[in-house]
Amino acid sequence: MVNNSFANESIRCSVTDCKFHHCDKNYCSLGTITVGTHETDPKECQCVDCESFKAKNEGLA
């Protein structure tokens, strides 16, 4: 069970479709996240990804 009532104020996040997004604040509820890239030579913000992302509805059927 995910506890997304904790707001980690060190990790700002506006992705409300993420399972770990805080219930009503723009923060992540995880203690740490993993950031990665899908590019071999990233030069722009769009090239970087939050690898800790999980869709809110992931695992529901």
Helix or strand run (H / E) with residue 49:
strand 48-50
Tens digits of residue pLDDT in 5-58: 899 999 999 999 999 999 999 999 999 999 999 999 999 999 999 999 999 987
Beta bridge partners of 35: 50
Beta bridge partners of 37: 48
* Domain spans, the chain: 8-50
Give the tokens for residue 54.
Answer: 């999980």
Q: Report the alpha-carbon distance of residue 42 to residue 39 in Å, rounded.
A: 5
Instruction: Report the pLDDT value the prediction gives residue 61, as an integer from 0 to 100.
Output: 56
Q: Report the alpha-carbon distance of residue 59 to residue 6 in Å, rounded.
A: 21
